[in-house]
Amino acid sequence: MTIKSISKLALLVVVLASCDNNRVQVTENGLKYKFHEDAEDTPKAKVGDVMTFHITVKNSKDSTLGSSYQNGSPVKQPLQASTFKGSLEEGLALLSKGDSATIYVNADSIAARSMQQLPPFIPKGSDIAYTIKVLDIQSMEEFQKAQVTLREKQKGVDEKTIADYVAKNKLAAQKTATGLYYVITQPGTGPTASAGDVVKVKYTGKLMNGKVFDSSDKNPQTQAGIDFPLGQGAVIPGWDEGIQKLQKGSKGTLIIPSGLAYGTEGSPGAIPPNSVLLFDVELVDIKKGAAPTPPTMPNGGR
């Protein structure tokens, strides 16, 4: 055999191996999957492990239904036990750190499990394709330790960001022990709100660059303010603490470090991860009584 023919044979082996790697395979439970990248000799995810991955979801017509790439941050979630034969969880358990694969889940099985009808854009009997790129796999203990480290590091970053902003804008801001800053722009004459009170608040939320991401003014139903109970986790921690610094009728600005807002995850499509937030707020009313239904506040609450 000549050197030339050996080279051709080697190339053929590489091509065949590549084709095999992209071949659709089927598990005993009927789950179809296809590897795009296979990180060999790395442990697969186990139930309870926290997986960090990017995901793109498409229907049988190759239309994108959602993607973490569009949201700007990967998904982080513990691997759950499979809830039905051929589930997404079964496919995720086949993956290791560095793997990339598409997992095909029967749409009828998903509908049966959720006891909901399929929307028109997902035909009966079709598959939903989940393309996954695994960035990391950690035990729950490893994940929690890493999160603590990240939060502590981010605290220092946020503190400098806020301090620079306050100095640049010459704000008469007060700082609390948690790192929250607040500025009273218009003093009120009523009582101070406290945990357990039901309050009505008008608000406008902004990123540090001034971009407005949410406001009570944008919806006619909330223009008079939104009602929520203080100190019960109905809103982000920075609100639970900051609103208690106001008197009825007062206006102010809350400068909230990311750890008291949306943290490392952000709010997809509106707030990037690790964002310090500015909220211009007005405490319209304070009342005692039964807590109302938590407000529909995509970026002022949870």
pLDDT at position 265, please? 83
Same domain as 282, residue 165: yes
Same domain as 189, residue 124: no
Same domain as 268, residue 179: yes
Kindly report the CATH number assigned to the domain that includes residue 227: 3.10.50.40
Q: Is the pLDDT of residue 269 over 60?
A: yes
Split into its structural domains, the chain has a count of: 2
- Percent of the chain past pLDDT 90, that is, above it, reads 74
List pLDDT tens digits, range 188-209.
999 999 999 999 999 999 999 9
Same domain as 47, residue 117: yes
Which H or E run includes 100? strand 100-106
3-class SS string, 153-212: HHHHHHHHHHHHHHHHCCCCCEECCCCCEEEEEECCCCCECCCCCEEEEEEEEEECCCCE
pLDDT at position 41, please? 82
Q: What is the C-alpha to C-alpha distance for residues 143 and 136, in angstroms, rounded to an integer?
A: 10
* H-only helix segments in the chain: 3-21, 68-71, 88-92, 107-114, 140-168, 237-242
pLDDT at position 225, please? 94
Q: Taking the CB of residue 51, how many other CB atoms lie within 10 A of it?
A: 22
Residue 3 forms part of a structural domain: no
Same domain as 189, residue 99: no
Whole-number average pLDDT of the chain: 88
Q: Is the pLDDT of residue 17 over 70?
A: no
Mean pLDDT of 224-240: 94
pLDDT at position 299, please? 52
pLDDT at position 290, please? 47
Q: Is the pLDDT of residue 267 over 80?
A: yes
Residue 294 forms part of a structural domain: no
| Residue range of the domain that includes 80 | 18-138
Tell me the residue type at 287: K
Enumerate residues 6+ apart whose C-beta is below 8 A from 152: none
Phi, psi of 109 (to 5 degrees): -65, -40
List pLDDT tens digits, range 78-122.
999 999 999 999 999 999 999 999 999 999 999 998 888 999 999
What is each CA distance from 124 to 26, 33, 60, 127, 237, in whole angstroms? 20, 19, 10, 9, 43
Same domain as 79, residue 204: no
Q: What is the C-alpha to C-alpha distance for residues 39 and 23, in angstroms, rounded to an integer?
A: 16
Same domain as 150, residue 94: no
288 or 160, which is more confident: 160
Residue 302 forms part of a structural domain: no
Q: Are the CB atoms for 283 and 227 separated by under 8 Å?
A: no
Residue 296 forms part of a structural domain: no
Q: Which of these three, 138, 172, 200, is where a domain ends?
A: 138
pLDDT at position 21, please? 55
Same domain as 238, residue 154: yes
Q: Is the pLDDT of residue 257 over 60?
A: yes
Same domain as 157, residue 93: no
Q: Taking the CB of residue 70, how many other CB atoms lie within 10 A of it?
A: 10
pLDDT at position 223, please? 93
Phi, psi of 27 (to 5 degrees): -80, 175
pLDDT at position 289, please? 56
Same domain as 185, residue 77: no
* Residue 239 in tokens: 């609100």
Same domain as 150, residue 121: no
